[in-house]
Amino acid sequence: MMQGFAFVAVSVLLIVLLLLGTRSKKDKGLASATMRNRERLGSEGVLQPAELAHRIFSPKDREFIGLTHSPRLQRLYQDDRRNVALHWVRRTSREVSAIMLRHRLNSRYSQNVNVAAEAKLFGLYLELRFLCGVLVFLIQLFGPHALVDLASYTSELYEQVGRAMRDATAASNVASSEDAVP
Amino acid sequence: MLFRDISMNNPPYLLTMRNAFEDLQRRTLSHIPCDFARLIYLASMRDYNTAIYHHEGLAARYGQEQTREALQTSHREIFCKLVFLPLEGLVTELETYVRASHEAQDDFIHAWQELEPYRVAVPMEADATMVQLFLSNVRLALEVLRFRREQEQSQAGQPVSSLPLSPAR
């Protein structure tokens, strides 16, 4: 029983490491691309999904709570932060599913579907859903703080999928309208 | 989106709103001792029933709509700032706010843990995960303050305050 569990855990970790290893340099620039929402009036407080993931999963708060040496506070903190982290992962997973559904409905009516782009998109979607599943499992097992890199990567991938689906939908719409011109 | 679409293609509107925003920062918010107090102040400018912001002085100078947008923008901005603040910083913010309120610290902590009035300080349409994180952090910050109070009282040889555990627990 224990050997089976260990095998599954090691397999999951290897897959996660493999996925992180395949991360391209281009992906690393995605965090800076999230600055797109910065608006007028010099507003600094615009939502940054990657930053939010980093904020939730960062171990800094745990270190601060640890300094109190209060088991009650530490327990409260662990429970609360685990719930917030799970909320973030489940929401990310739900949102990407909704985006994918919309994209599928749009593609159904398009006559110019780029098969290669669609396949790549579907691959990204599957990777993201898989990562969300792994994150839920690992958060429940170890808590969120060991997973800051994986969560940041998931967040960036989420943005990448969202952008790619928007672009693919726009491209197929343009192609369809060009075909419709006599 | 920090601003509504109405302002996007209307430079005079945007300019007036910017002036209202800067006026609010300069004349009002800069005199409030901490961001947490600013958040509570801005939330108090919002009608409980309609969630519409009101500020008579600013509205007389810049117009109702521009004033609302300026208040809403400031509210969201300070909320985001507090969400991204490390827990240690939030505890300091809350401590400053408690001190500025001139209430007895034990009573304050007790009331806030029981009633959770900070829930109404969340801006409309705030990101759901950010709201969760904010509420969780304020709960924890209150627990930290309470823990420190208990430590102080036990070191001073006073009977430890009999605050009940927070209801969420």
Domain residue ranges of chain B, discontinuous segments joined by +: 5-83, 87-155
Residues B92-116 have pLDDT tens digits of 999 999 999 999 999 999 999 999 9
pLDDT at A1: 56
Q: Which residues of chain A have pLDDT under 50?
A: 17-48
Domain that holds residue A64: 49-170
Å between B129 CA and nearest CA of chain A:
6
Tell me if A141 is assigned to some domain: yes
Q: Fill in the DSSP letter of residue B119.
A: G
User: Count of alpha carbons within 13 Å of A52, Cβ hemisphere only?
Assistant: 29
Averaged pLDDT, B79-92: 96
Q: Please, are residues B59 and B69 in contact by the beta-carbon 8 Å criterion? A: no
User: pTM (2 decimals)?
Assistant: 0.77
Q: What pLDDT does residue B161 have? A: 56
Residue B53: strand pairing partners: B46
Residue A97 phi, psi (nearest 5):
-65, -40
Mean pLDDT computed over B23-48: 95
Contact between A62 and A82 under an 8 Å Cβ cutoff? The reply is no
Report DSSP letters for A158-177, one per residue.
HHHHHHHHHHHHHHHHHHHH
Residues within 8 A of B (CB atoms), A 119-158 only: none
CA geometry: angle at B141 spanning B113 and A76, to 5°? Answer: 80
Closest Cβ–Cβ partner in B128, B136, B144 for A80: B136
Number of domains in chain A: 1
What is each CA distance from A142 to A47, A101, A134, A149, in whole angstroms?
27, 32, 12, 14
- Residue B122: predicted pLDDT: 96
**Is A111 part of a structural domain of the chain?**
yes
Q: Is residue A143 part of a domain?
A: yes
pLDDT at B13 exceeding the cut of 70: yes
Which pLDDT belongs to residue A78?
Answer: 94
pLDDT of B2 higher than 50: no
Q: Which residues of A touch B140 (CB under 8 A)?
A: 61, 65, 73, 76-77, 80
Q: What is the biggest distance separating any 2 CA atoms in chain B, rounded to whole angstroms?
A: 65
